[in-house]
Chain A
Amino acid sequence: MQLKDPKGGAIAAAALTLLGGATPSQAEEKRWLFDTAMLFYTEGADRVYAFEPKLAATLDLRNGGAVNAGFTVDVLTGASPNGAAPSNQPQTFTTPSGNSSFTAAPGELPLDPSFKDTRFAGELGYTMPFGDANKLNVHGNASTEYDYRSLGGGATISRDFNLHDTTVSLGVNASRDSINPVGGAPTPLAEKTGAGGGPDQSKTVLDGLFGVTQVLSTTSLMQVNYSLSRSTGYLNDPYKVVSVVDADGDPVRYLFESRPDSRLKHAAFVQYKKFVIDRDVLEVSYRFMTDDWGIDSHTGDATYRFNFAGTHYLEPHLRWYRQSAADFYRVALDDGEPVTYASGDPRLGAFDGVTVGLKYGQTSWGNLQWSTRLEYYKQIGRVDGLPPVAGAALDKLDVAPDLNVIMLTLGARFRY
């Protein structure tokens, strides 16, 4: 064969380059994907510190399926609110074990300093394609910490329609938790005099999820999810109390909290993702959650991935959250006030939260992709759940203090 045209030469040369590369065995596709991350979390001086390393691995199977496994360790230490209201007097509490005590200064939100936990969690999943456009995922997970164990599993089925432009998913999940509180599980609304003393408890959670992902145009897609979650059993936090106060807001005694033994949550989530100026990715989402405890929450989230140079990117993140208080959330109870349920856990109170963050990453550093993310979260408490009589006195104190959190996440992922 002779070549009269240099362009023919270009194709022949390119064909030889293509074939002259690594032998197929060396070019074998990398079937392992490893994902690692490390989270550092701090609520500032005297409050919770957390450290959370994570490792996940996925193996692509030759039959078209995949197996994944993950392992997470959570190490938490520091002080967290025990549910009691602040007071003009010093307040002394025994720790959950009943073996030691701590004192909160006047005007300060009581924080239990014995909060210390190490949690180990593992999960295992298997995904298999079947038919032309269907996928089935089954997974199981387990976690353990010294006073809590959880075992769960579930399945998700998804199907593509319209030449993969539409994906519909349906998932179910169930878990069974056993709670073995330090010092025993207390009787709800019993006066806290020492440790709880009661028997171990359990909790069951059933979740369902329905989702649709739709490619809208060449540059955008939308995802809509609806999820339902039902918890039954022991839903109290065995270490949380609620203050009973006199007319001046001064503590009379402390009761163990009492929550309903079932909770039904509905959540709707919508996300819009757009590829902009042929380079960047904008993602905005909104989530609404409502439950039969009276909590409604709204979450707005936006990220902009700025692919500024080759394999480097910067991703600013902004998140806004608002939650209303549970019907039974109480800063404190008036002495003699009749209640069935009451909790002083600030997580069930009304608050707003704002997160701002920035992520920097490199999508190709040899065989590795890495990223680092720094985020600041500010929680602003809104006062709700004041007792009718003592409310005016308590309102003078900072019953819903702000919370400041800094989070640093380091992530790396590579194929092998």
Chain B
Amino acid sequence: MASPCTVLADGADDAELARLVEIARRSALRIEHKWSRYRDDNIVHRINHAQGEAITVDDETARLIDYAALLWRESERRFDITSGVLRRAWRFDGSDRVPDRETVAALLPLVGWDKVTWRSPQLRLAPGMEIDFGGIGKEYAVDVTLRELVAATDKPVLVNFGGDLAASQPPRDGPWRVGIDSGAPDRPAPLIKLDQGAIATSGDARRFLLKDGVRYPHVLDPRTGWPVMDAPRAVTVAATTCIEAGTLSTLAMLRGAEAETFLQSRGCDHHVVR
């Protein structure tokens, strides 16, 4: 998952904790192995290298693709699992290397869920197109891991994969207390009290480009190939499941200046850092 993963179990002894950590570790590795775009032996690699052939996917991948397809419609084409191709032009390393318009425009024919043929369980991409589950895979892993841990213990459990987390029930001494990275060292970290449910954060204040005094955040709009210029630095959302929280925070980022309006219309607990 390329981030620290933590399991908290209230009242568990060392032996039980070791057992739960092993369950969580296996679950995280399974999902990471299955959908990482950095591997060349998984379903994502097969899909991305099929050169125009249709690939039959397993049930779990099919459900995730169905979910991504729904988000594409719900977000009015802003959330798109084919948008990773844009990384060929954009590298958010804090430098001033903003790509030229032609480079970005040349990639746009490779981006767009509407260019994909998805007839579950078969997916066909045009050659050169790619998908990745970067926007939802980790959050899904949190939910699935929590479910496996709940089946393995009756203690209150919290799973935290790099800041995206979910809890089964509150510990004996009151709710879980979750601090949120404020995005700036001089601002106090807000504290959220969580009984059960999930919290997910989108946005990485350290990833941007800066050119001629303009800050280009790393949130890309797949419809244009360019960053969403007024995107918040980070959006944190609380919801019943981590996948839902992660989705809402990601969609809010993609709304740019309207992130807060979007979250208010959803009526979910949220925290926006600008």
In the bound complex, do residue B128 and residue A217 qualify as a contact, i.e. CB atoms below 8 Å apart? yes
Residue A221 interfacial (CB < 8 Å): yes
* Contact yes or no, A4 B267, CB < 8 A: yes
Q: Which of B45-87 contact A (CB under 8 A)?
A: 48-49, 51-54, 56, 58-60, 63-64, 66-67, 70-71, 74
Asked if B268 is at the interface of the complex by the 8 Å CB criterion, the answer is: yes
Residue of A8, A163, A218, A415 near B267 (CB, 8 A) is A8
B144 touches A19 (CB 8 A): yes
CA distance A64 to B241 in the complex (A): 31
Closest CB of chain A to B131's CB: distance in Å? 13
Q: Say yes or no: is B182 at the interface (Cβ < 8 Å to chain A).
A: no
**Contact for B121 among A19, A60, A218, A364, CB less than 8 A:** A364
User: At the interface, yes or no: A337 with Cβ under 8 Å from chain B?
Assistant: no
A117 within 8 Å of B (CB atoms): no
Q: Is A218 a contact of B40 with CB atoms below 8 Å?
A: no
Task: List the B side residues contacting A163 at CB < 8 Å.
Answer: 88
Chain B 162-184 interface mask (CB, 8 Å, partner A; 1/0): 00000000000000000000000
The residues of B that contact A4 with a CB separation of less than 8 Å are 265-267
> Which of A21, A22, A310: most chain B Cβ within 10 A?
A21
The segment from A169-177, A273-281, A385-393 found at the interface with B is: A273-281
Chain B residues within 8 Å of A30, by CB? 58
**Complex: A10 Cα to B30 Cα, angstroms:** 28
B143 at interface, CB cutoff 8 A: yes
Contacts of A133 in B (CB 8 A): 40
Answer whether A3 and B243 are a contact pair too, CB < 8 Å, given A363-B122, A415-B56: no
Contact A5 B265 (CB under 8 A): yes
In the complex, what residues of B have CB within 8 A of residue A252's CB?
none
Q: How far is the CA of A62 from the CA of B119 in the complex (A)?
A: 28
A3 to B263, CA, bound (A): 11
Q: Once the chains bind, are B40 and A129 in contact (CB under 8 Å)?
A: yes
Docked CA distance A273–B50 (Å): 12
Residues of B in contact with A (beta carbons under 8 Å apart): 27, 30, 33-34, 39-43, 48-49, 51-54, 56, 58-60, 63-64, 66-67, 70-71, 74, 88, 109-110, 115, 117, 119, 121-122, 126-129, 140, 143-144, 147-148, 197, 238-241, 243-244, 247-248, 265-269
> Can you report 9 A-B residue pairs in the complex whose CB atoms are below 8 A from each other?
A11-B244, A14-B71, A26-B59, A60-B41, A66-B41, A135-B40, A165-B128, A217-B109, A220-B127
Closest 7 CB pairs of A and B: A27-B60, A15-B244, A8-B266, A275-B52, A64-B41, A4-B267, A218-B128
